Amino acid sequence: GAGVSQSPSNKVTEKGKDVELRCDPISGHTALYWYRQSLGQGLEFLIYFQGNSAPDKSGLPSDRFSAERTGGSVSTLTIQRTQQEDSAVYLCASSSSGMETQYFGPGTRLLVL
């Protein structure tokens, strides 16, 4: 498929464990975004990558959250010492450049028990 893919589609973990969420953007898209969607907060921006750099990390909620992007392609969002309030759908989007249309993946549904 030519769209944005994310894995895993669902993740159940225990409080205190670390999790890694993966995003494969559309080939050739230089801009990549992570968002979080939860019942209480709606859809919130987390971090923006242009290439392998992250000029805007302002949405990361705490230092337990980090993200990296390698080769200008795949990105990984890592949550350390997960808490129950981290339960949400984590969405990734990519665009051909920073101001163009964003295409969203199907998301990873994270449940922290």
| Alpha-carbon radius of gyration of the chain | 13
21 belongs to the binding site for another protein (CB under 8 A): no
Total residues interacting with another protein, rule: CB under 8 A: 25
7 vs 14: CA distance, rounded Å? 18
Contact with another protein (CB under 8 A): which of 30, 44, 64, 76?
A: 44
DSSP state, residue 62: S
Site string for another protein, 71-100 (x = CB under 8 A): --------------------x-x-x-xxxx
Contact with another protein (CB under 8 A): which of 24, 75, 79, 107?
A: 107
- What's the chain's length in residues? 113
16 vs 73: CA distance, rounded Å? 29
80 vs 62: CA distance, rounded Å? 10
Cα dist. 29→2, 32, 51, 78 in Å? 11, 7, 9, 21
Contact with another protein (CB under 8 A): which of 33, 65, 67, 110?
A: 33
Contact with another protein (CB under 8 A): which of 8, 16, 55, 61?
A: 55
Q: How far is the CB of 67 from another protein (least distance, A)?
A: 14
Binding site for another protein (CB under 8 A): 4, 31, 33, 35, 42-45, 48, 50, 55-56, 91, 93, 95, 97-102, 104-107
